[in-house]
A and B are shown apart, each in its own frame.
Chain A
């Protein structure tokens, strides 16, 4: 399993893809830039597919120490 910091950020990547989709509608974008964006979109999409193919979840158990109720409260 990759380290947390190496992991693809699902939220940010989806956001980037949605931005690309919007930008592709803009007539101000010249064709060369549009193709570049499209290719970037394809790449992000592939990365997302790889990320979504992960099955395992990492579980870290934190055992807190609880004081005994009665002994703590006794006067």
Chain B
């Protein structure tokens, strides 16, 4: 009433009037549902559209980054924002901060359009999928706090393996903040010093409208661009969201996500037991082989020793057989030596003298020829026993 009084006699300039109206209108944040009858993007980022119902229509405006899914004419949407007069053109426009698809037909159509585009871009390509680490130490968990998905995942994870570090980022999994929160969670992990070995994004089942956030391009790109490999488990098995297609691994349920994330301790224990058995078998086999080798070598050695002994024994036997012959030969030789000795002894000068011969010397030199003597020489004559000196009286040369 007061305002009316204030403006009753006031003359506004156009700008003043537009600003005045906007001051009244812009605090009115509302949500409007209707069908898109016109959709145009200008200058790459300005979105102009018309929303209609059976009777009337409304001009709308937004920016491309605020629209999180493909929108086409004919789709039913809910727009969230505020009415506004755009001063320059003077048009009354609904300034849309947030747009969501409404009704299964629109959601499905938008889903297929985005899916085709992202698929073409290679975001779902099999060759881009990373292999999950077999033994992750740190697991990043993105889901809603206290939701069944959260409890199911953690319960099944603990049932499989302990001693893990779980970094949990609670996020909204439905409602308009979902996209922003999930993207921020991925961003946090990408920048974290303690980057998880694997990230699990999960939420339980819900209506198509509830799950549609996980079809948003931002989440699909956040999953695709995650520095850590991602497991996505959204909704039930029959619900396939785009973020699951861009994930490295898709799990049907939060429980399945836990099964894919970590190995089961029972399986690991059984694997361990197999490894131990294999090691024991290998060592036993090794020992048996060595035992056989040892037996073989011992026998070989014994055989060689026996062969060598046989050779020696043969030599010994030969010697033994030849010995009497050798002895008699030796005796013969001994006898021959004895005869020779007697003969040699008989040839000694003393023995010759004993047989009646004498040795005649002149000046100590033995004489063998009368030529060496003359009449009157003194000669020394040695007998077997005794000696004498005699003078030469006559020489006969025969």
Chain A interface (Cβ < 8 Å from any Cβ of B): 1, 4, 7, 9-11, 14, 17-18, 20-21, 24-25, 31, 34-35, 38, 41-42, 45, 48-49, 51-64, 66, 69-70, 73-74
Q: Which segment of B35-43, B173-181, B199-207, B321-329 sits at the interface?
A: B173-181
Contacts of A31 in B (CB 8 A): 286-287, 290
Q: Do B279 and A63 have beta carbons less than 8 Å apart?
A: no
Interface residues of B in 83-125 (CB under 8 A from A): 97-98
How far, in Å, is A35 (CB) from chain B's closest CB?
7
B97 touches A35 (CB 8 A): no
Question: Across the interface, do A54 and B276 meet the contact criterion of CB distance under 8 Å?
Answer: no
Distance from B141 Cβ to chain A, minimum over Cβ atoms (Å): 8
Q: Which of A9, A45, A60, A64 contacts B184 (CB 8 A)?
A: A64
Question: Is A58 a contact partner of B164 (Cβ separation < 8 A)?
Answer: yes
Distance between Cα atoms of A62 and B188 in the complex (Å): 9
Residue of B nearest to A41 (CB): B279
Report whether A57 and B135 are in contact in the complex, using a CB–CB cutoff of 8 Å.
Answer: no
Question: Which A residue's beta carbon lies closest to that of B278?
Answer: A21
Rounded to whole Å, the gap between the CB of A68 and the closest CB of chain B is 8
Q: Tell me if A57 and B272 are in contact (CB < 8 A).
A: no
- Please give me the residue from chain B that is nearest to A60 by CB atom: B167
| Known contacts A11-B135, A21-B279, A69-B180, A62 near B286 by CB under 8 Å | no
B286 touches A24 (CB 8 A): yes
Which residues of the partner chain B approach A60 to less than 8 Å between Cβ atoms? 165-168
In the bound assembly, the distance between CA atoms of A25 and B271 in angstroms comes to 18
Set of chain A residues within 8 Å of B177, measured between Cβ atoms: 66, 69
In the bound assembly, the distance between CA atoms of A58 and B269 in angstroms comes to: 22
B133 within 8 A of A: yes
Instruction: Tell me if B169 is interfacial: C-beta within 8 Å of chain A.
Output: yes
The answer to whether A74 and B168 touch across the interface, beta carbons within 8 angstroms, is no
A sample of 11 more A-B contacts (CB under 8 A), given A10-B263, A14-B135, A59-B166, is A31-B286, A31-B287, A38-B283, A42-B276, A48-B272, A52-B162, A54-B163, A58-B165, A61-B168, A61-B170, A70-B80
Listed by A's residue number, 10 A-B pairs whose Cβ atoms lie within 8 Å are A1-B163, A21-B275, A38-B280, A45-B276, A52-B269, A56-B162, A60-B166, A70-B29, A70-B97, A74-B97
B165 touches A52 (CB 8 A): no
A11 with B133: in contact, given A25-B282, A55-B158 (CB under 8 Å)? yes
Query: Is B283's CB under 8 angstroms from A57's CB?
Result: no
Q: Do A57 and B157 touch across chains, with their CB atoms under 8 A apart?
A: yes
Does B265 contact A52, Cβ atoms closer than 8 Å?
yes
Q: Which residue of B lies closest to A63 (CB)?
A: B170
CA A64 to CA B177, docked complex, whole Å: 13
Closest to B283 in A: A38
B13 CB, nearest partner CB in chain A, Å: 22
On whether the beta carbons of B282 and A21 are closer than 8 Å, the reply is yes
Inside 8 A of B170's CB, which chain A residues have their CB?
Answer: 61, 63
Q: B260 interface residue, CB < 8 Å from A?
A: no
Q: Contact between A70 and B98 (Cβ–Cβ < 8 Å)?
A: yes
Q: Is B338 an interface residue (CB 8 A)?
A: no
List, in ascending order, chain B residues with CB within 8 A of A1's CB: 163
Is the pair A62, B181 in contact by a Cβ cutoff of 8 Å?
no
B154 beta carbon closer than 8 Å to chain A:
yes
Q: Does B268 contact A (CB under 8 A)?
A: yes
On chain A, the residues within 8 Å of B97 by CB distance are 69-70, 73-74
